[in-house]
Amino acid sequence: MGNLLYVIAVILAIAWAVGFFVYAASGLIHILLVMAFITVVLRLVRR
């Protein structure tokens, strides 16, 4: 389960970077970044 959370966080961070630099979308990209950050924090707390 821990690896799955880490993979999801990496995918969300990559999606944020691609969306931010290529498409320059507004609120959705920042929501993806926040979700990736929360996933990483949860992974660190559950260790």
Confidence of residue 43 (pLDDT cuts 50, 70, 90): confident
The radius of gyration of the chain from alpha carbons, rounded to an integer in Å, stands at: 11
Name the domain count of the chain: 1
Confidence of residue 46 (pLDDT cuts 50, 70, 90): confident
Rounded distance, CA 47 to CA 28, Å? Answer: 29
Once rounded to an integer, what is the mean pLDDT over residues 8-35? 74
Give the burial class of 44: count Cβ atoms within 10 A of its Cβ; 0-12 exposed, 13-18 middle, 19 or more buried.
exposed
Residues spanned by the domain of 37: 2-46
The per-residue pLDDT for 14 is 84
Q: Does this model's pTM top 0.85?
A: no
Q: Which two tokens stand for residue 33?
A: 């970044």
Instruction: Find tokens 């498409």 and name the residue.
Output: 23
**pLDDT tens across 17-27, in order?**
777 666 665 66
Confidence of residue 32 (pLDDT cuts 50, 70, 90): confident
Rounded distance, CA 27 to CA 44, Å? Answer: 26
What is the H or E stretch that residue 9 is in? helix 2-18
